[in-house]
Amino acid sequence: MPVKVMIPTPLRQFADKQESVHLEAGTVGDALSALTSQFSDLKRHLYSDDGRLRSFVNVYVNDEDIRYLQREKTAVQQGDTISIVPSIAGGAKA
């Protein structure tokens, strides 16, 4: 089933500058695996050395946070959109 994976601006340099890709996947994990297979440089930005999704990487399926669903085992259907949203921290004192 093709799903759309949105690639955030900071990570596009590791995905041939693409804003999104369409991939065949049955779960979020399948989609992320296909994404990192296609763009291997993305893997180190999304996953830690032990193979876990990094804690500062948030993933949504159609605006639903996968942490409150079945995480990477969350099922996806044709036409779903998976969004990768890296957490942003920091800033300057006023």
Domain of residue 61, CATH code: 3.10.20.30
Cβ-contact 61, 79 below 8 angstroms: no
Per-residue pLDDT tens for 14-57?
A: 999 999 999 999 999 999 999 999 999 999 999 999 999 998 89
Would residue 93 count as lying in a domain?
no
Would residue 23 count as lying in a domain?
yes
Number of domains the chain contains: 1
Helix-then-strand count for the chain, H and E:
2, 5
Q: How far apart are CA 6 and CA 60, in angstroms?
A: 10
pLDDT over 70 (residue 1): no
pLDDT over 80 (residue 89): no
Would residue 91 count as lying in a domain?
no
Contacts of 94 (CB under 8 A, 6+ apart): none
- pTM above 0.85? yes
- Once rounded to an integer, what is the mean pLDDT over residues 68-72? 94
Domain span including residue 8:
2-86
pLDDT, residue 55, reads 87
What's the mean pLDDT when you consider all of the chain? 92
